[in-house]
């Protein structure tokens, strides 16, 4: 992002014989110049902003892979192409990465030489005053009866008060420069941006996250195998995760019950937990709520979700308990219509699978299918269909929240229609064909907890703060140069402006000129200040 | 009467006053128009004198006028000045009522009054009103009034008719002191972006008319020069850009606290980032020697379109489903 504009290419209508042929190194150098030019940076910035947009329009795997799957199912013609081009994973796609990497290469290629130039400028004296200051944007002239040295001293005093760095290259001129912090700020800003990227990379490589669903009244001991899902960075040793134990006593949940637009919106989620830093250590009471994570051993524990775990018992025809568990059902909408699966591999003669909905406040008619009217458990109901056959075809690993029905058949009633279980708490359903019973014992809540470490976050945070600081300096401070030249006034009589009266002292003409790179409202005021002080001194003497 | 009802009453009252202010600003512009024909020559002289100031070499300190946003370089008629003052007074009153409305809404629910789209829109409109009121008198921005008050009215009208949400408690994700920091800085930034956008549009029209002088001058010719307008828009965009950078960082810190990760490419995050890059591109293009200021201004205007998309489509359209679902609508 060098400020100098690259020279415009000459007309290409006829090949210019005087242009030397570029060697391979020459082309590399040319490409480098192009990449690090301000125009390229500008183009890449605009390209980056356009490239980021699709990620907000198409569902993204890193946010919600379920929605991506739905989208692909609904758009069978376009989605394979979109998928191939990375539109469901925009921020990890080659084209998005290419843009920001080029941008950062361009940025580094720009700040390194600029830093050198800036350091040299910090050491160097302000440049020699131009001969004709009247050509500068801001300029002024005053005739005074001070001597040339005195006039320069006055100017020096004024400019020093305005924090100019001053130097006289000769006895008749003064050069001043201020606003070095502008470039310092610019460089700091761009350097800090690379710091943010470094922090992100460190977090990606050394950070990890594990998610766990914890029903009320249960405990969880952290280790690589106990999380429902764990995504460690490539350099994380999953054997060294903090070994804390977390028990969920109670999850308090409140929803808005006042009618209106906000009906059913969440009001409060608080998890009351017992935390041990390692198995056997004394337990402390901790509450986790949204916006208030707790920290243990460098890992933060967040409350990110909640839902219901109906306690369901499945018995065989003899009344023997085959399954009794608080089974998490995952909420699908704002009213917590939740889906879940119960797998009973020990059932005979065939394995049993139940799949369906938990509805915290069931809409009784099911006219539009199973639906919930309110997120709190006001009138809970289970609605399940029953399948039998092989639960684990090919013994392939599968999610606990989906039922693979490839090798299963749905259990039907005597009349041949599919059997549908609808149960309120405490009720029991007899599976047709003397296959046993299903009982809906009670409902508990679960807390969806996420445990995360991101060692790169502090690097990014500090960098971001420095970047803001640099930005403020770089945008608000003005780089200014002010020059003062003195010369003896023309002989008395010729100058109309010479001081009145019989003055023996030789008059001095002082020219002041100001220069700024950007449009600068304050420059005129500085030139005026020098002018006015000189004029004032003149009046007094 | 309860505070929330008073807040709504104050909101309606401010809309009435703003409507009067808008009419008064238009009336003011009408009074500026006829002046232009005679004063155009004068304006040119004045600019020239300003450039040459100092070459006269007289000793006494002179009163200097900077050309920067100094308002019209023409002799403003008493009539136009009076109407401008009336319009400004009405704007102050409308803004005071709007700020009172926002404050009462906040008091009625004991929290920062920007927890849903309706509240964000009214607080944002109030910020625009305050920013304009503070800067208008000093910079002689009476001519700008109609371009600022009209969008305020539009936003207030839309927020009452489409976005209105009863005053109520926040959802858990918003219960954080970061709501006060992150969101307030966001809408103050939007307020500056809005005024800069209005000036940017005026700049483009003014520039066009400078390049191809129209047969009949109107109030446009009484405005500051296109170069001055461009500088003002740049300064405002610069302030807004710094505030927007802060919004982005504060949002990331809050996201880390609420969702466990500071950046997840949620649609709101994406658009905040897009806005930031577009305005960063504007800053770069403005700083690049040889790039036409008009082109830079187009980039800034595009940035503001992104600001509007970020507030409307991203909040309301289900395509942009993400974690920032606080609209309170639907």
H or E stretch including A5?
A: none
A329 DSSP 8-state letter: B
- Judging contacts by C-beta atoms under 8 Å, the chain B residues touching residue A183 are none
- Provide the pLDDT for residue B2: 82
Helix crossing, B293-311 with B226-259: angle to 10°? 40
Confidence of residue A115 (pLDDT cuts 50, 70, 90): very high
Number of domains making up chain A: 3
CB B151, CB B9: distance < 8 Å = no
User: Quick one: CA torsion of A373, A374, A380, A384, rounded to 10 degrees?
Assistant: 50
Residue A503: pLDDT over 80:
no
Nearest residue in chain A measured CA to CA from B282: A42
Is pLDDT of A505 > 50? yes
Chain B interface mutation, best of A42, A197, A266, highest count of B Cβ atoms under 10 Å: A42
The position carrying tokens 């020559």 is: B41
Q: Which residues of A touch B70 (CB under 8 A)?
A: none
- Mean pLDDT value across residues A196-217: 93
DSSP at B221: G
Q: Between A and B, how many CB-CB pairs are < 8 A?
A: 177
User: For residue B167, what is the nearest residue in chain A, using CA coordinates?
Assistant: A262
CA distance A116 to chain B (A): 20
| Residue B235 to residue B229: CA distance in whole angstroms | 10
pLDDT in tens, B142-176: 999 999 999 999 999 999 998 888 888 888 888 88
Indicate the pTM of the whole model: 0.86
Q: Kindly state whether residues A261 and A379 are assigned to the same domain.
A: yes
Compute the nearest-CA separation of A490 from chain B (Å): 14
> Which residues of chain A neighbour B291 with C-beta distances below 8 Å?
39, 42
> Is residue A348 located within the same domain as residue A284?
yes
What gap in Å lies between CA B56 and CA B62, rounded to an integer? 11
A139-150, pLDDT tens digit by residue?
Answer: 999 888 888 888
- Do A524 and B168 count as a contact with CB atoms less than 8 A apart? no
State the pLDDT confidence band at A324, using cuts at 50, 70 and 90. Answer: very high
Is A140 domain-assigned? yes
Closest CA relative to residue A264, chosen from A374, A164, A114: A374
Provide the mean pLDDT of chain B: 85
Nearest to B242 among A472, A499, A539 (CB): A472
CA-nearest residue to A264 within chain B is: B171
Give the integer Cα–Cα distance in Å for B199 and A116.
Answer: 39
**Does A200 map to a domain?**
no
Confirm if A360 and A312 have CB atoms less than 8 A apart: no
Measure CB to CB from residue A41 to each of B252, B284, B321 and give the nearest one: B284
Partner-chain contact A467 B245, CB within 8 Å: yes
DSSP A10: P
Output b/e per residue, A424-457; b: 16+ Cβ within 10 A.
ebeeebebeeebbebbbbebbbbbbbbbbbbbbb
> Which of A526-535, B30-39, B195-204 is least confident?
B30-39
Same domain, residue pair A104 and A168: no
Return the ∠ at Cα B119 (arms to B118 and B121), rounded to 5°: 65
Contact A79, A71 (CB under 8 A): yes
Based on the fold, state whether residues A366 and A491 are members of the same structural domain.
Answer: no
Minimal Cα–Cα distance from A303 to chain B, Å?
Answer: 8
Same domain, A389 and A512: no
A270-279, A334-343, B30-39: which has the minimum mean pLDDT? B30-39
B chain contacts of residue A528, beta-carbon cutoff 8 Å: 64
Structure confidence at residue B184 (pLDDT): 94
A487 and A443 Cβ atoms separated by less than 8 Å:
no
Among A40-54, A58-72, B79-93, B269-283, the minimum mean pLDDT is found in: A58-72
Are A55 and B289 a contacting pair at CB < 8 A? no
Question: What pLDDT is stored for residue B304 in this prediction?
Answer: 97
What gap in Å lies between CA A275 and CA A244, rounded to an integer?
7
User: What residues in B contact A525, CB-CB < 8 Å?
Assistant: 64, 66
Q: Indicate the residue among A436, A453, A470 that finishes a domain.
A: A453
> Which residue from B minimizes the CA distance to A289?
B172
Position B329 scores a pLDDT of 62
Distance from C-alpha of A106 to C-alpha of A110, rounded to nearest angstrom: 6
A66-69: Cβ within 8 A, 24+ apart? A67/B321
Q: Is A522 helix (H, G, I), strand (E, B) or coil?
A: helix
Pick the residue from chain A with its C-alpha nearest to B238.
A475
- Of A95, A120, A145, which residue is a domain's last? A120
- Residues of B within 8 A of A531 (CB-CB) are 54
Would residue A459 count as lying in a domain? no
CA distance B69 to B75: 16
B256 to chain A: which residues are within 8 Å by CB? 454, 457
pLDDT tens per residue across span B287-313: 887 889 999 999 999 999 999 999 988
Minimal Cα–Cα distance from B249 to chain A, Å?
7
Residue A132 CB contacts under 8 Å (≥ 6 apart), including other chains = none
Digit-coded pLDDT (tens) for B255-294: 999 988 899 898 899 999 999 999 999 999 998 878 899 9
Label residue B62 by pLDDT band (50, 70, 90): very low
pLDDT score for A224: 86
| Contacting residues for A154 by C-beta, under 8 A, at least 6 apart | A146, A530, A533, A534, A537
Chain A residues touching residue B270 (CB < 8 angstroms): 52-53, 55-56
Q: Is A56 in Cβ contact with B314 (below 8 Å)?
A: yes
Both A247 and A161 in one domain: the answer is no
Search chain A and give the residue with CA nearest B276.
A49
> CA–CA separation, B144 vs B229, rounded Å?
11
> Mean pLDDT over residues A314-339, rounded?
91
B176 to chain A: which residues are within 8 Å by CB?
Answer: 291
The CATH number of the domain where A528 resides is what? 3.30.310.80
CA distance, residue B239 to nearest chain A CA (Å): 9
Q: Which of A53, A209, A256 sits opposite B274 (nearest CB)?
A: A53
Which among B165, B191, B322, B327 has a CA at the least distance from the CA of B259?
B322
To the nearest 10 degrees (0 to 180), the angle between helices A38-52 and B267-287 is: 160
Q: Characterize the bridge pairing of strands A229-232 and A330-331.
A: unpaired
Written as six digits, the tokens of A259 are 């009618």
Rg (CA), chain B: 22
For a pLDDT cut of 70, what percent of chain A falls above it?
93
C-beta atoms surrounding A533 within 10 Å: 18
Burial status of residue B45 (CB atoms within 10 A of its CB: 0-12, 13-18, 19 or more): exposed
What pLDDT, on a 0 to 100 scale, did the predictor assign at position A1? 44
In a domain, A3, yes or no: no
CA distance B165 to A258: 13
Mean of all residue pLDDT scores within chain A: 87
What is the distance between the alpha carbons of residues B126 and B146, in angstroms, rounded to a whole number?
16
Residues A308 and A399 in one domain: yes
> Does A308 share its domain with A447?
yes
Write a three-state SS string for A258-296.
CCCCCCCCEEEEEEEEEEECCCCCCCEEEEEECCECEEE
Write out the two tokens for B204. Answer: 């483009």
Q: Please choose, from the candidates A199, A190, A76, A72, the residue with its C-alpha nearest in 3D space to the C-alpha of residue B263.
A: A199
Q: Which residues of A304-343 are buried (b: 16+ CB within 10 A; e: fewer)?
A: bbbbbbbbbbbbbeeeeebbeebbbbbbeeebbbbebbbb
Asked if B266's CB is within 8 angstroms of A63's CB, the reply is yes
Taking 70 as the threshold, does the pLDDT of residue B77 lie above it? Answer: yes
Contact flag A56-B53 (C-beta cutoff 8 Å)? no
Q: What is the pLDDT of residue A522?
A: 83
Give the nearest chain A residue to B169 (CA atoms).
Answer: A267
Expressed as residue numbers, the domain containing A268 is 208-453
In a domain, A202, yes or no: no
Q: What is the mean pLDDT of the segment spanning B185-197?
A: 96
Arithmetic mean of pLDDT, A101-118: 91
A364: its two tokens: 């009784």
Do A513 and A134 meet the contact criterion of CB atoms below 8 Å apart? yes
Tell me the average pLDDT across A375-395: 91
Contacts of B262 in chain A (CB under 8 A): 454, 457, 460
Q: Which of A209, A258, A457 sits opposite B256 (nearest CB)?
A: A457
Q: How far apart are the first and last CA of chain A?
A: 52
Residue of B nearest to A199 (CA): B262
Residues A396 and A413 in one domain: yes
What is the per-residue pLDDT across B4-24, written as a single tens digit (0 to 9) for each? 889 999 999 999 999 999 999
Query: Rounded to a whole number, what is the distance in angstroms from the first to the last CA of chain B?
Result: 28
Residue A275 lies in a domain: yes
Please state whether A179 falls in left (phi above 0), alpha (psi between -120 and 50) or beta: left
Please judge whether B261 and A452 are an interchain contact, meaning their C-beta atoms are less than 8 angstroms apart: yes
Asked whether residue A213 falls in the same domain as residue A81, the answer is no
- Please name which of B222, B262, B183, B251 lies closest in space to residue A300, comparing C-alpha atoms: B262
Asked whether the beta carbons of residue B257 and residue A291 sit closer than 8 angstroms, the reply is yes
From chain B, pick out residues whose CB is under 8 angstroms from the CB of A266: 171-172
How far apart (Å, rounded) are the C-alpha atoms in residues A451 and A294?
Answer: 10
DSSP class of residue B222? G
Q: Beta-carbon neighbour count of residue A462 at 10 Å?
A: 14
ipTM score: 0.85
Same domain, A101 and A129: no
Nearest CA-CA partner of B266 in B248, B280, B283, B284: B248
Angle between helical axes of B267-287 and B293-311 (0-180°, round to 10): 170
Q: Is the pLDDT of residue B249 over 90?
A: yes
For B54, name the nearest residue in chain A, comparing CA atoms only.
A140
CB-CB under 8 Å, A302 with B173: no
Rg (alpha carbons) of chain A, rounded to whole number: 38
Point out the residue among A142, A293, A468 whose CB comes nearest to the CB of B57: A142
* Interface test with chain B among A8, A56, A467, by most B beta carbons within 10 Å: A56
Residue A90 covered by a domain: yes
| b/e sequence A170-180, b meaning 16+ C-beta within 10 Å | eebbbbbbbbe
Partner-chain contact A140 B53, CB within 8 Å: yes
CB B272 within 8 A of CB A55: no
Residue B312: phi and psi, rounded to 5, are: -95, -75
Of A1, A63, A267, the CB nearest to B284: A1
Reported as a pLDDT band with limits 50, 70 and 90, residue A288 is very high
* Of the listed ranges A32-41, A172-181, B117-126, B286-295, the one predicted with least confidence: A32-41
Which range is most confident: A170-174, B36-40, B218-222, B302-306?
Answer: B302-306
A242 located within any domain: yes
Domain boundary, last residue among A418, A453, A488: A453
SS3 A525: helix
Note whether A446 and A534 are same-domain residues: no
Q: Long-range pairs for A5-10 at CB < 8 Å and ≥24 separation?
A: A5/A38, A5/A39, A5/B288, A5/B289, A5/B290, A6/A33, A6/A34, A6/A37, A6/A39
Q: Which of B270, B286, B310 to mutate to test the interface with A (most CBs of A within 10 A)?
A: B270
Closest CB to A471: pick one of B166, B245, B289.
B245
Cα→Cα distances B83→B5, B73, B146, Å = 33, 18, 12
Cα–Cα distances (Å) from B221 to B35, B162, B275, in that order, read 10, 38, 32
* CB-based contact A261 B165, cutoff 8 Å: yes
């Amino acid at each position: 992002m060098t400020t100098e504009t690259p020279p415009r290419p000459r007309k290409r209508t006829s090949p210019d014989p005087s242009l030397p042929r570029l060697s391979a190194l020459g082309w590399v150098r040319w490409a480098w110049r192009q990449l690090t030019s301000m125009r390229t940076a500008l183009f890449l910035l605009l390209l980056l902003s356009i490239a980021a947009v699709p990620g907000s329009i198409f569902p993204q795997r890193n946010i919600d892979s379920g929605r991506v799957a739905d989208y692909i199912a609904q758009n069978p013609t376009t989605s394979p192409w979109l998928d191939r081009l990375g539109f469901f994973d925009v921020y990890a796609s080659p084209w998005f990465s290419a843009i920001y990497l080029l941008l950062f290469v361009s940025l580094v290629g720009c700040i390194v030489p600029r830093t050198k130039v800036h350091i040299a400028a910090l050491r160097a004296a302000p440049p020699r005053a131009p001969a004709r200051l009247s050509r500068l944007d801001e300029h002024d002239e005053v005739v005074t009866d001070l001597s040339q040295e005195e006039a320069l001293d006055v100017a020096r005093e004024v400019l020093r008060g305005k924090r100019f760095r001053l130097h006289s290259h000769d006895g008749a001129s003064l050069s001043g420069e201020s606003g070095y912090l502008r470039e310092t700020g610019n460089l700091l800003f761009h350097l800090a941006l690379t710091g943010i990227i470094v922090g992100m990379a460190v977090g990606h490589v050394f950070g990890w996250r594990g998610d766990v669903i914890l029903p009320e009244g249960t405990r969880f001991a952290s280790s690589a195998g106990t999380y429902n899902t764990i995504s460690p960075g490539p350099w994380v040793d999953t054997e060294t995760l903090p070994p804390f134990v977390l028990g969920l006593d109670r999850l308090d949940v409140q929803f808005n019950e006042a009618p209106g637009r906000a009906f059913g919106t969440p009001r409060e989620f608080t998890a009351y937990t017992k935390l041990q830093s390692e198995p056997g250590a004394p337990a402390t009471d901790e509450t986790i709520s949204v916006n208030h994570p707790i920290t243990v051993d460098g890992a933060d524990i967040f409350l990110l979700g909640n839902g219901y775990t109906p306690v369901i018992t499945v018995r065989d025809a003899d009344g023997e308990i085959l399954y009794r568990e608080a089974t998490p059902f995952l909420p699908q909408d704002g009213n917590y219509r939740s889906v879940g699966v119960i797998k009973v591999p020990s059932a005979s003669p065939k394995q049993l699978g139940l799949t369906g909905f938990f509805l915290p406040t069931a809409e009784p008619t099911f006219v539009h299918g199973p639906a919930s009217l309110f997120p709190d458990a006001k009138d809970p109901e289970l609605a399940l269909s029953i399948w039998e056959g092989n639960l684990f075809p090919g013994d392939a690993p599968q999610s606990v929240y989906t039922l693979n029905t490839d090798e299963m058949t749905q259990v039907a009633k005597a009349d041949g229609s599919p059997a549908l279980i609808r149960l309120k708490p405490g009720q029991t359903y007899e599976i047709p064909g003397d296959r046993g019973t299903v009982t809906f014992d009670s409902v508990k809540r679960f807390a969806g907890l996420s445990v995360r470490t991101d060692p790169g976050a502090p690097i990014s945070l500090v960098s971001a703060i420095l970047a803001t600081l640099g930005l403020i300096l770089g945008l608000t401070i003005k780089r200014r140069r002010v020059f003062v030249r003195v010369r003896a006034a023309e002989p008395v009589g010729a100058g109309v402006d010479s001081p009145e009266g019989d003055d023996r002292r030789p008059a001095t003409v002082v020219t002041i000129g100001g220069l700024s790179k950007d449009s600068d409202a304050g420059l005129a005021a500085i030139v005026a200040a020098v002018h006015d002080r000189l004029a004032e001194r003149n009046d007094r003497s | 009467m309860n505070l929330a009802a008073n807040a709504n009453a104050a909101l309606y009252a401010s809309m009435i006053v703003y409507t009067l202010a808008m009419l008064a600003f238009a009336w003011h512009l009408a009074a500026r128009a006829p002046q232009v024909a005679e004063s155009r020559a004068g304006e040119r002289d004045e600019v020239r004198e300003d450039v040459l100031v100092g070459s006269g070499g007289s000793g006494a300190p002179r009163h200097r006028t900077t050309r920067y946003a100094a308002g019209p370089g023409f002799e403003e008629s008493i009539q136009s000045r009076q109407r401008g003052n009336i319009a400004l007074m009405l704007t102050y009153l409308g803004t005071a009522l709007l700020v009172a409305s926002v404050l009462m809404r906040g008091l009625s629910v004991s929290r920062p009054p920007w927890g849903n789209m309706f509240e964000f829109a009214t607080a944002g409109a109030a910020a625009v009103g305050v920013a304009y009121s503070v800067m208008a008198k000093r910079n002689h921005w009476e001519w700008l009034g109609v371009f600022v008050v009209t969008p305020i009215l539009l936003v207030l009208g839309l927020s009452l008719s489409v976005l209105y949400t009863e005053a109520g408690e926040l959802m858990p994700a918003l219960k954080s002191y970061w709501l006060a920091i992150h969101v307030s800085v966001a809408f103050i930034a939007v307020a500056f972006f809005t005024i800069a956008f209005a000036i940017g549009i005026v700049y483009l029209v003014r520039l066009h008319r400078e390049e191809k002088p129209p047969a009949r001058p109107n109030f446009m010719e009484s405005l500051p020069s296109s170069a001055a307008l461009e500088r003002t828009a740049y300064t405002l965009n610069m302030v807004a850009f710094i505030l927007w950078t802060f919004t982005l960082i504060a949002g990331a810190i809050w996201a880390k606290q609420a969702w466990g990760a500071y950046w997840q490419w949620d649609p709101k995050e994406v658009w905040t980032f897009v806005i930031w890059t577009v305005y960063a591109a504007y800053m770069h293009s403005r700083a690049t020697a040889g790039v036409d200021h008009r082109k830079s201004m187009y980039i800034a205007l595009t940035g503001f379109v992104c600001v509007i998309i970020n507030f409307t489509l991203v909040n309301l359209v289900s395509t942009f489903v993400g974690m920032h679902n606080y609209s309170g609508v639907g």
